[in-house]
Amino acid sequence: MEMAVDKTQFHVLAVDDSLIDRKLIERLLKTSSFQVTAVDSGIKALEFLGLNDDDDDEDEQRDSNSESISSDEDQDHQDLGVNLIITDYCMPGMTGYDLLKKIKKSSCFKDIPVVIMSSENIPSRINRCLEDGAEEFFLKPVRLSDVNKLRPHLMKGRSKDIDFPDRTRSGCLISTGN
């Protein structure tokens, strides 16, 4: 299936309990031509994706025509529309890390790249998130230069044949957001 990737907009789901940070990340993403949905909690993020909080194995999909799950996984993502999730780490109730785990456990959504943001530079926290499947870890305040790092992860999701060098870990630990 050919897709005109430069013409199709990527849809990012942003999760942050801070109103100011939500407004900021939304503007940053829109400036970079992403379509954005911003929610204020992990629970709302899961609801938006159509995942029940307590169902880990049986995930409910919003899209009802899901006959062939494996080959149409990309199509399902397209229909749901979320190509990347960017979430704050520190949130009341479900943390960004909890959300990451739930996404990665989900058969439908585990391939959606997840990026974590945090105002605190704690190496053990950063490493744990990366080890458990986060693509990037941004230190807040997030800047346009950070958002520009997202596109390769999205392109990778679109065309799985293209091989991108794995620079995530070193690239991420160096970036301090300064």
Partner 1 sequence: MAIAALKTQHRNLVQTMFDEGMLDNQFNQLQDLQDSSNPNFVDEVITLFCNDAERIITELTRHLSYQNVDFSKLDSYVHQLKGSSSSIGAHRLKLACVNLRQASDGWNKEECVEAFYSIRREYCHLRTKFQVMMQIQRRIVSLENNQQ
Kindly state the smallest distance separating residue 105's Cβ from partner 1, in Å: 28
Kindly state the smallest distance separating residue 90's Cβ from partner 1, in Å: 7
Among 8, 27, 55, 65, contact with partner 1 (rule: CB under 8 A): 27
Kindly state the smallest distance separating residue 146's Cβ from partner 1, in Å: 11
8 Å CB contact between 17 and 41: yes
27 vs 160, beta carbon nearer partner 1: 27
Residue 95 is a binding residue for partner 1 (CB under 8 A):
no
18 vs 175, beta carbon nearer partner 1: 18
8 Å CB contact between 102 and 46: yes
Measured CA to CA, the distance from residue 48 to residue 42 in angstroms comes to 10
Residue 23 is a binding residue for partner 1 (CB under 8 A):
yes
8 Å CB contact between 34 and 14: no
Cα first-last separation, the chain: 41
Measured CA to CA, the distance from residue 95 to residue 101 in angstroms comes to 10
Q: Which residues bind partner 1 (CB under 8 A)?
A: 18-21, 23-24, 27-28, 31, 90, 119, 140-141, 143-144
